[in-house]
Structure 1
Amino acid sequence: MRFAVYEKNNNSISYEENIMKLKVISSMISALLGGVLVVSNANAAFVTLPGAAGQPGCGVTSATSIRCAGAANVLADKTYIAANVQAGVYNLPSSLSLISKVDTNFVSAQDSKFAGTFSDYVFMDTTTNSVVIGSRLLFGPINGLRNLSEANDIFRYGYEGFKVEAGWTRLSSSDLRAYSIARSETGLKQGADVYNANVVGFRTDVNASEGNPQSGLYLIRTDATAFKVINNAIKVRQGGEEGQTPLSVSLSGYAPTKLESGITSGETVKTYGGSYTSNMNVGGNLSNEYGNAQYSGSISALNGSQINTKVGTTTTFNGSFNQQVGASLGGGGTFVFNGGYSPGNSPGSVTVNGDVVFGDANVALFEIGGLAQGTQYDHLTVNGNLTFGGTLQLSFIDGYTGNAGDTFDLFDFTSSSGAFSQIVVLSPLGNGFGYTYDGASGVLTVIPVPEPESYAMLALGLGVISVFSRRKKIR
């Protein structure tokens, strides 16, 4: 669709003047219709993208194709989600809470004139507590010169296995609508759509020379409660609809995740609460920032990893959890361990910046093989409140059999509450030695324990002394 006035001779008005006039006209139309749009389209919502023709989707019970078409009149556009317009200012729909936004300037390697700025968004939908990914494209001047770039398709990748709904909204009166949306990687002039569960494609016509320099905010709502950055998450494509060479550029960006395969070094995943079932290694950053999260699989926090839970949120581990040396738990929130906790990597010293709760069913395993804290025996520092509960399990390793008076500072904390319900020893000390544990300080001390025969004689002697003592008191 073309709106620009093309230069035909020296008397024609300039490109910049055309753009200014178009923006003025667009603003006038928006001002006239803005109030109507907000009221009349207030119930517009995300639409389900069908996987095949005849399925429910696109706002109807039986879609004729997998591509949900928009409309030039937003009052008739089922994919349009009304912005909150106040005094001419376009605000996000009230259900969307902005979590993160990254602007990326790009230039196609195929054609240096295919260049622009892509804005990548993550929102949380407060009505569903789920991740919403947003896309916005701008083709501004290139080095102060006219930009001839055009975008016909914006593809988002990483949606295999997720429920997907889509729509678009405006952040300004001049934003260009989404023409249509489909779960397909078939671009303009590439034939009939083919369903692809991993892709959400937005059809548009962003073109600065035509007076459409920027898109609206194109939105994908999922059933995910976590998101991460992946390579090749975005493709911006020019289809060559007017005989130009087809061009495209791929960018890294946000995508939903279920945390099936863990988090690799250098990778960051942020959650909005939710429940996760997979066993995983965490080598990068895992951040629970916006709700309470539950993990039921076995988790190893590897050296160099960072697991955060924001102040006011709780992250609960119902499976076993190993915090290796160099793995940091922080954020100031609360970590609850119900399925087993072990510090270090046989053994080690670790730290949690926040509150820690050992649940009633938890087993905290601490290994002791010598007197050097962190290298010969396990140690946990909690910069917050440590709630003791469940079982403390001790394993004496590396041939350590005990020496009277040896002490092991297993726990340091800002404050503490509760108590272990029991202490279980997996590998006992040598003959003649036992231990005492001071729950107030978290210190274990080795003490001599008499042989059974000596203990019996001592007990008898104590009994006799007790009798004599009582008799003396009677006299």
Structure 2
Amino acid sequence: MKTKRLLQTITALFIAGASSTLAATFTADYLGGSIWEQDANWSTTVYPQNGRTRPAPNGDPIPGLNPLYNVSINNPAPCTLGIGVRVEAVNVSMGSTLNINGSIWANTGFGNAGLITLNSTGNFLGMLRAGGDSNVVAGGEIFMSDHFSNSVTAGSHGKILTIAAGGRIRGAGNVNAYHGDDVRTYFQIVNHGLIEALQPVNPLRIFLTDDAAFTNSMVNDGTLRASGQGVLIFANFNNFANVLNEGGTIEAIDNGTVRVQHRSTIMGGTLTTSGSGTIRGGTDFTGGTLNNVTNSGTVAIGPNEIVHLTGTFTNNSLVRFEGTASAAASLLLQDDVTLAGNGLFAMDGQSAGIAGTDVVGRTMTVAPGVTIRGDGIIGAFNSNFTYKILNLVNQGTIEATNGLTIYVSNSQNSNLSNNGGILRAGSGSLLHFESPTGGGMVTNNNGGLLEALSNSTIKFLSGATLINNEGATIELDGGTIDAAAGVDLNGGQLVGNGTFTGPIRNNGGTVAPGFSPGKITINGNYTQGANGILNLEIGGTTAGTEYDQLVVNGTATLGGTLNVSLINGFQPAVGDVFNIIAPSAFSGAFATINTVGFNSTITYSSGGITLTVISSAGQLLNIATRMNVQTDPNQLIGGFIISGSEPKKVIILATGPSLAAFGLSGVLADPVLELYQGNTLIATNDNWKVPAQAEIEATQLQPSHDLESALVQTLAPGAYTAIVRGTNGTGIGTVQLYDLAQTSKSKLANISSRGSVQPGDDKAMIAGFIIGGEGGDDSRVVVRALGPSLAAFGIAGVLPDPTLELKNANGSTLISNDDWQQAAEEAEISSRGLAPGDTQESALAISLPHGGYTAIVRGKGDASGVAVVEVYNVD
């Protein structure tokens, strides 16, 4: 009964208006004693409640018929209010406490520099209501117990509640409304401090006003926080209302949750989370809105939850969709929106959707750095198309991990332009492009990538079409693209291994099967126009695994250009045949055929379009480098690379004593030879007759002096190093390498030597090499002389300015170079990735017929130092 009478009294107070009778205003100072309702605890000798006079037996009454009270709590003893009162104002000083178990209506507002607690146990209890501007100053706090009807609210429109820096409102209940309030008068809330939901059972709700007096319902440059399983809710009963959050932070920490719902809008600022905290949307149809917001935490959209976006949403962390089969998680665009940042939109679970709200064709731009990954639908994603289709511009990454559908529509100006972004079907997934109106377009533009990974399918349904333009790539990486309307390859390229179902119209692009090498299967027709290009690579004799092949289960209509090159060091033999296109039928022929490293003929038939090798380029068969061999680290070092698909048999020689027969003095008396792969010693030899004399003699390349060294080895493709040292001595020596398996499918792709260059012709670095083999065509080589750049590898005493000269077998100079950037072939050397690391180093490129050649490296101005000479067989 007491509680019932109390509630009736409080209700009557709030319904009654202010008296029109003249009244005097008094200051009621709290004197201690802990209880508000005890007269002796106040300087006025009556506890403050507007209109309440002092009883006559205690002395003269307070003047005036309706006294008004300004309440001052400035006492260390806490004051507890257990009833409902109405006063003019309330001020709580620093170090003082006011516990409100009942309620206070302060006509002209309140100020708080101490502690006010709201401790509701039912409706209209634990309430602080102000009819004027009110403040929580630095050091002040309003703390709310864990009850839904605690409230801090306004008694009239157009008033402002300010929380200063250092001020706080914390707990559970309501800011700007109270339980059962039908009038719903609101503050504008200006927060420079902290508003925090931290109770585990009941949320803290901030109700926003659409009052015309305020541009923004709330201005926050402080912190709005949910922590410790607390829930902070932004809501609005009527029209849309804003939180201007520029310079502010909204955060959810330690399992806290922030919900933006009921037509509320967050404008600007930053969202952050930690410790399993989340920012969430609303569970009502309208949801809340994020306008030009930056997310640095986790935004989670649960079943039947909605988050609206306007402006630019910068996501530097995670937006997670948590829909189920029967309840969607929805991200809706109210206007043209840009998704920016470097974060992830994780469309996990089921029924995840991104769409427009009220009109078709809103543009969603996915900026560079943004990733949308998962399942669900982008575009109109409910059965009656209440949510609208989008015009999508992708510069980031959109990736399907199971089943992702993107809607496109020509008639609704809602297509997809992949402008430098990535559209990917992840391994084993489905990526669908579908049109609800029977026609839509996916355009892959400059820098864009459409990619189907292993066992995935990209499918174009309901008339959706694919166009690939200049600079864009369609990549099959073990997956399938199914496009009934086919693709117009107007530029760019189609590459990889996989299947394309539908016609390919190569109007001006490039088709290149494999990743060195591979196969593309076309279930449909292949048409290559005059500007189309087909690039094929040959690295062996098996179609699809060693050389590129195009399988056309339809008609191949040919024109344009065919380019064929060799890879992996493979050297085809004259007469080798390669079935490069396997069509069901064919017409036409290539207008231009380019081959690199060999010559061929093309045979056209429905059984297969084949390439036959009629001649090939020569290859490096031998290198021999002569120089002055000194002690470590200036010993003679020869490097070489074997490329191709088969092992190669070679012989390596280290000579010294026999050079005296050619008029050289100071020769290396007793050379020792070591062979390494990386840091692993493979073999070594001192005197060649021990232990493999017979094997070496069988090559007919044995040294002429017993103290010279030799090794015969069969080596897998890779890089090797031969080192020549003297046994207790120095002098002029050579390292020589010979190819003993010239018809194998591997070749010497690069040979080099390192050592000390001294003044004088007899102490220059002299590298001889032979070009030969079955191929009769010229061989393109790049020769380099390096010195200064060796210092970066810890080599001391490098040759500061090497010069390079190339001679033929007759001793005639063919070409020379001092600084490589002065060479006529500078652009070619750079494009092949062989530019020296220093401008004073030398390089040249030249095509050479079969025969023997000598590269001579000297120091400019008779300088001396360590240098390297290299020969690359590039074609």
In the superposition, the TM-score normalised over structure 2's length comes to 0.24
Q: Which structure ranks higher in relative contact order (CA pairs < 8 Å, sequence separation ≥ 6)?
A: 1
Rg: which structure is higher? 2
As a proportion of its length, which structure holds more helix?
Answer: 1
